Amino acid sequence: ETGVTQSPTHLIKTRGQQVTLRCSSQSGHNTVSWYQQALGQGPQFIFQYYREEENGRGNFPPRFSGLQFPNYSSELNVNALELDDSALYLCASSGEKQGNYGYTFGSGTRLTVV
């Protein structure tokens, strides 16, 4: 059983650019959530995808957008990058699995905006 994998692990972008982060969910999981974790803080919910549809969104502007594919992998796109977008971006997958309704997190993508 594979876990959640995220790519790339590190990324440096210039203010105003666009970025795409990728996430492969754990086998058997059909729900993917994205979180932003600024330095020294707990992760903040960005949005969740369930069976290719957005299923909830946190307090993030529209320049944060996402996609989920038929194999349940997912992308997070951020347009018009700002310095404050520098953070660790975490992807988590979940699915009904014999009583385990918890989430499995990936190792994250560290985004630095300069």
Partner 1 sequence: KQEVTQIPAALSVPEGENLVLNCSFTDSAIYNLQWFRQDPGKGLTSLLLIQSSQREQTSGRLNASLDKSSGRSTLYIAASQPGDSATYLCAVDNYGQNFVFGPGTRLSVLP
Residues that bind partner 1 (CB under 8 A): 6, 31, 33, 35, 41-45, 48, 55-56, 58, 88, 90, 92, 94, 99-108, 110
Residues 81, 82, 83, 86, Cα dihedral to 10°: -50
Q: Smallest gap, in angstroms, from Cβ of residue 74 to partner 1?
A: 15
* Per-residue tokens: 34: 């994205």
Q: Smallest gap, in angstroms, from Cβ of residue 17 to partner 1?
A: 23
DSSP-derived pairing of the beta strands 10-13 and 109-113: parallel
Q: Smallest gap, in angstroms, from Cβ of residue 4 to partner 1?
A: 8
Region class of 92: left (phi > 0), else alpha (psi between -120 and 50), else beta: beta
Residues 6 or more apart whose CB falls under 8 angstroms from that of 99 comprise none
Cβ distance to partner 1 smaller for residue 39 or 114 = 39
Q: Smallest gap, in angstroms, from Cβ of residue 16 to partner 1?
A: 26
Cβ distance to partner 1 smaller for residue 8 or 16 = 8
Distance CA 81, CA 66 (A): 15
Cβ distance to partner 1 smaller for residue 44 or 65 = 44
